[in-house]
Structure 1
Amino acid sequence: MSEADCLFCKIVASEVPAKIVYETDRTLAFRDVNPQAPTHVLVIPKDHYRDAAALAAADHGLADEVIKTAHAVAQQEGIVEPGYRLVFNTGPGAGQTVFHVHGHVLGGRGLQWPPG
């Protein structure tokens, strides 16, 4: 999939609407359209990277900024206490369905591990 066809790139470009909850110069956070918890926010870099491995290989501090944005979202949403989950699915075998790296910030209820 090219960046031109990427749903999350279209959200960054304001071509597709999203409920944006937090933004920095290089990151964007918006509510998941199919929430799996009371708080379910996706955090993405504005630049396109296919998955967490590609973001890590970029090696310019952006992965750090994505995680800091995720924590800022958790603070804003009031889920730092009692806790929240941050999940990056990398590849189709892990459940990644949109191939623009994104972290899921999940909280607002007890989250058991393993899920189920």
Structure 2
Amino acid sequence: MNECLFCRMAAGEVPADVVLETDRVLAFRDIDPQAPVHVLVIPREHHATLGALAGSDPGLLGEVVAATHAVARQEGLVGADDPEPGWRLVVNSGPAGGQVVHHVHMHVLGGRQMRWPPG
């Protein structure tokens, strides 16, 4: 997967502003943030889409989702007094879903009022 940007980031070949990492998950700030907090959470292992990850390693999918909550907590989007002040989790899967980088990733967005519909 040498051509996959996120695989190269996970391998440390491309720099990233890392906010959380485990042996199987990496979280880093988006280079084009759409909110005051905009962090991408990826599995280190390459899976092109959400369905591909869910089908091949549901345990890893759970780790990625758990990491999104850890990032939200770390970034102040989940507080002690108000356990859910508000944040958004976005997953674009496949071309029609708006996925641009074909390595599954979840966007943690927060720090401002989220509107609906998102677009």
% identical aligned pairs: 62
- CA drift at 1:82: 1.3
The number of residues matched between the two structures is: 114
- In the alignment, which residue of structure 1 is the partner of 2:76? 78
Per-residue CA deviation, residues 66-97 of structure 1 (Å, 9 max, x unaligned), is 00000000000001241111111001111100
**Runs of 4 or more above 3 Å deviation:** none
Return the TM-score normalized by structure 1: 0.95
Unpaired stretches in structure 2, ≥5 consecutive residues: 79-83
1:27 aligns with: 25
Q: Which consecutive unaligned segments of at least 5 residues does structure 1 have?
A: none
Cα distance in structure 1, aligned partners of 2:113 and 2:44: 30
Q: Structure 2 residue aligned with 1:7, among 5, 13, 18? A: 5
- Tell me what 1:89 maps to: 92
Q: What is the deviation of 1:101? A: 0.2
CA distance in 2: counterparts of 1:68 and 1:53, whole angstroms: 17
SS of residue paired to 2:38: strand
**Aligned position for 1:100:** 103
Q: Which amino acid aligns with 2:15?
A: P
Residues in 1 aligned to 2:23 and 2:11: alpha-carbon distance in whole angstroms: 13
Deviation at 1:60, TM superposition (A): 4.3
SS in 1 for 2:109: strand
Q: CA separation in 2, counterparts of 1:55 and 1:62?
A: 8
Distance in 1 separating the partners of 2:5 and 2:62: 23
- RMSD of equivalent CA atoms: 1.0
The CA distance in 2 between the partners of 1:86 and 1:68, in whole Å, is 12
Query: TM-score, normalised to structure 2's length?
Result: 0.92
